Amino acid sequence: MNTLLLLIIGIPIIEIYLFIKIGSQIGAFNTISLIFVTAIVGVFYARYEGLNTLRSGMSQLVKNEIPIYEMISGAALAFAALLLIIPGFATDILGLLIIFPPTRKLFLNKIPNKNPKRNNQKQDFINGEFEDIDEDNDRKI
């Protein structure tokens, strides 16, 4: 089956199951309050981490380096904020794991690097071909 279809069907089923189990333990009002609290705290912490990532990316640009990790980390933070806004406990846990820097690094290290290792050494030459032309032959024509 298609992975996207499984996610579309599976995530709500998991969330509904967790709502019922947690709601039966702590009550309906506390469950709803907990959902709102995790969303609010998560979004504020995502904003804080996003600003830290932006600051780190700017320092990379000042050093004339490409802030690749910061760009990927910023996208991961945006995804984590989205997960925290979506009501549910499973998405909140995954969003919080992505927001915290140590676990975010673990997630980002699992992403395969498809770019080959580039040689960052500066080269002071240009490869090319040349042809030596006699100036005397050009004037005889």
Per-residue pLDDT of the chain (141 residues; tens, 9 = 90+): 688 888 889 989 999 999 999 999 999 899 999 988 988 888 888 888 888 888 888 888 888 888 888 888 888 888 888 888 888 899 999 988 888 888 888 888 877 665 555 545 556 667 777 777 766 655 555
Distance CA 32, CA 51 (A): 29
pLDDT, residue 33, reads: 92
Distance, in Å, from the CA atom of 16 to the CA atom of 64, rounded to the nearest integer, reads 49
The domain locations on the chain are 40-111
- Extract the tokens encoding 91: 């998405």
